[in-house]
Amino acid sequence: MHGTETHDGERPLERMAEEGLRFARRMYLPRMLGLGVGTLAVGGGLWEAQAPLWAWLLLALNGFVWPHVAYRIARASRDPYRGELHNLMFDSACGGAWVAAIGFNLVPSAVLLSMLAMDKAAVGGVRFLARCLNAQIATAALVALIDGFWLHLDSGFVAVVASLPLLFAYPATVGYTAYRLARRVRQQNDVLATLSTIDGLTRLMNRTHWEQAVATEFQRCRRIGHSSAVLMLDVDHFKAVNDAHGHQVGDEALRAVAAILRDTLRLHDIAGRYGGEEFGVVLPGIEASGAAAIAERIRKKIESSVVEPRRGVRVTASIGYAALGLDDHDPGAWIARADRALYAAKAAGRNRAMGHEIGVRA
């Protein structure tokens, strides 16, 4: 089966199988523990019901052999996730059968059914819980019919004590599993939040979040009166690089320029990809003269670097910068002034840095 094929037109089958296997692995340990201590609870009921030897043998198979069989079934399934859901329904069906087998002994029956309901709701929500409850009712009715609908509602000391391990251990296991899953989701959300701010090609901040950084710096400077500057950079004749060497080489050139920015800028400077071959940088706490020095240092480093070593590709860059001034009434006006300086540098022959000096620092 090829990885590009889809199931229900949604996700590749290989990805679904991998997710299903992870789900089966997550359920393996809780099932072993749950059925292990569940065997004690049912065993207390069987003891008080004076059950025959074959019932104890079936209980041992269900409690200590079935968890391993269930895991192998899920792993061997074409759809491991669905296979594991079937295993969970079988767990519930067995629970219903054992409740009837012990004559609905009140304490172990209540504990067993509660634990089964809790983990099914945690795994699949209300709809899956309802399906599992139907399976429980069906098997309980079948066993009760075979066994003559006998009742043993009173719970003796053995049944109560034997139910305690399941009552305490299994909720803790389910809770810990849910905690681990929630922590993993939080970590993944943190990663996604970080990735949403990053340009995939250059690993610099993307335009949206870079503009937010400019807005934040703008407000900070207006509030406390600090200096700051914005720098806009454009790779010269970038279309010619793509036309002559291909887009992969062009991508390598952009990554190289981004690396030069990271290596050249100060730790608190904020660089971003503005779009295409254009980059922006926020330079906090700096005057126009300082911005000019940084811009020239970046320009020279790009000019002297081989941005694609295999083909010896070199590029140059035009740079415009603007210190924050009183005429900048919003962050967009500040960026626009740096952009105008950039276009002036390109119009003057490219491979140079120029500033836009209108206004006085706020």
Q: What is the pLDDT of residue 20?
A: 87
Please report, for the chain, the start and end positions of each structural domain, with discontinuous segments joined by +: 6-194, 207-355
Q: What is the pLDDT of residue 3?
A: 40
Q: Compute the distance between CA of residue 238 and CA of residue 243 in angstroms, rounded to an integer.
A: 9
pLDDT at 105 over 60: yes
Mean pLDDT across 41-66: 94
Tokens matching residue 236: 């010269």
Residues 6+ apart with CB under 8 A from 301: 260, 263, 264
pLDDT at 191 over 80: no
Chain mean pLDDT for the chain: 88
Q: What is the pLDDT of residue 341?
A: 96
Q: What is the pLDDT of residue 6?
A: 41
Q: What is the pLDDT of residues 227-283, one digit of tens each?
A: 999 999 999 999 999 999 999 999 999 999 999 999 999 999 999 999 999 999 999
Residues 6+ apart with CB under 8 A from 210: 204, 270, 271, 272, 273, 274, 280, 282
Q: What is the pLDDT of residue 362?
A: 33
> Dihedral of CA 194/195/197/198: which sign?
positive
Q: Which fold has domain 207-355?
A: Alpha-Beta Plaits (3.30.70)
Q: What is the pLDDT of residue 360?
A: 35
Tokens matching residue 108: 């172990």
Percentage of the chain exceeding pLDDT 90: 69
Mean pLDDT across 21-33: 89
- Phi and psi angles of residue 266, each rounded to the nearest 5 degrees, phi first: -75, 165
Q: Compute the distance between CA of residue 337 and CA of residue 320 in angstroms, rounded to an integer.
A: 8
Residue 190 — very low, low, confident or very high, per pLDDT cuts 50/70/90?
low
Q: What is the pLDDT of residues 316-343, one digit of tens each?
A: 999 999 999 988 999 999 999 999 999 9
pLDDT at 220 over 80: yes
DSSP labels, 175-215: HHHHHHHHHHHHHHHHHHHHHTTB-TTT-SBPHHHHHHHHH
Mean pLDDT across 34-45: 92
